[in-house]
């Protein structure tokens, strides 16, 4: 290969497919009308595996989840106008001792759009709110210890492991451990 003066890393970057960015996946707050699309995502196998969700949950559970509630912020990422991902943050703005801290309660991507940047775009949007609008000091989360994709995503944005919970969630005939992670500023 001719020497172009670029480092090996720069050459590799130039040949890698361009990552889709936040602007590729417009983000807005979830609305009641998103219930059916979101329900399809929340009942899919990969989401059941990575969360506390149950298969065959009733649509009413998703409709209830989307009902506006204080201290619950829910974002959707769109692709061609359709819901491709969802993130939910639980805040505590009414509690003077804990209003600096929130929990990333869920982040999910529609199965056919996984590994295309939707989760990254949602997390970027959550962190923009956390850092630039809410002024959070702490954002925590719980993730199953075998969920390598999610753990890598969180680590890329500065979340670090805080602890491990044994046999935290039932999974098939057995149980899975969970990690708590947090990003502190
Ligand atoms: C965890 C989850 C939300 C990640 O969402 P996602 O949309 O796939 O996330 P991203 O696409 O931003 O990143 C995932 C991977 O794709 C890669 N990627 C992103 N855009 C890409 C692109 N355009 N081309 C190639 N790879 C890409 C990322 O680098 C990352 O790679 P890595 O796993 O090797 O680190 C998704 O897997 C999911 O919904 N899982 C089920 C529910 C769940 O477990 N949620 C977390 C509960 S704690």
- Per-residue pLDDT tens for 41-58? 999 999 999 999 999 999
Give the total residue count for the chain.
185
Determine whether the shortest distance from the Cβ of 62 to ligand 1 is under 6 A. Answer: no
Q: What is the pTM assigned to this prediction?
A: 0.90
Nearest to 38 by CA among 92, 77, 2: 77
Three-state DSSP string of 18-87: CCCCHHHCCEEECCHHHHHHHHHHHCCHHHHHHCCCCCCCCHHHHHHHHCCCCCEEEEEEEECCEEEEEE
pLDDT at 23: 56
pLDDT at 24: 84
Domain for residue 166, yes or no?
Answer: no
| pLDDT given at position 22 | 46
Q: Is residue 159 part of a domain?
A: no
β partners of residue 27? 77
Q: Is residue 156, in this structure, part of any structural domain at all?
A: no
Task: Note whether residue 10 is domain-resident.
Answer: no
Rounded to an integer, what distance in angstroms lies between the CA atom of residue 74 and that of residue 88? 4
Flag whether 132 is in a domain. yes
Whether 91 is covered by a domain: the verdict is yes
Distance CA 110, CA 113 (A): 5
Structurally, how many domains does the chain consist of? 1
Q: Is the CB of 126 under 6 A from ligand 1?
A: no
Low-confidence ranges of the chain (pLDDT < 50): 1-22
Structural domain includes residue 3: no
CATH code for the domain of 91: 3.40.630.30
Q: In testing the pocket of ligand 1, which one of 113, 117, 140, 171 has its CB within 8 Å of the most ligand atoms?
A: 117
Q: How far is CA 113 from CA 83, 110, 177, in A?
A: 10, 5, 27
pLDDT score recorded for residue 15? 41
Q: pLDDT tens-digit profile of 144-170?
A: 999 999 999 999 999 999 999 999 999
Range of the domain at 125: 21-142
């Amino acid at each position: 290969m001719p020497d172009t003066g670029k480092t090996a890393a720069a050459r590799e970057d130039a040949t890698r497919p361009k990552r889709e960015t936040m602007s590729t996946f417009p983000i807005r707050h979830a609305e009641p009308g998103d219930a059916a699309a979101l329900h399809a995502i929340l009942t899919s196998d990969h989401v059941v595996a990575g969360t506390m969700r149950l298969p065959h949950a009733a649509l009413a559970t998703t409709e209830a989840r989307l009902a506006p509630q204080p201290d619950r912020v829910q974002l959707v990422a769109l692709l061609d106008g359709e819901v491709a991902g969802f993130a939910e943050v639980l805040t505590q703005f009414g509690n003077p001792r804990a209003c600096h801290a929130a929990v990333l309660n869920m982040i999910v991507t529609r199965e056919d759009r996984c590994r295309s940047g939707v989760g990254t775009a949602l997390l970027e949007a959550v962190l923009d709110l956390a850092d630039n609008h809410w002024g959070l000091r702490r954002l925590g989360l719980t993730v199953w210890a075998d969920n390598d994709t999610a753990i890598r995503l969180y680590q890329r944005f500065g979340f670090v492991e805080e602890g491990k919970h044994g046999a935290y969630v039932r999974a098939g005939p057995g149980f899975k451990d969970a990690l708590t992670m947090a990003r502190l500023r």
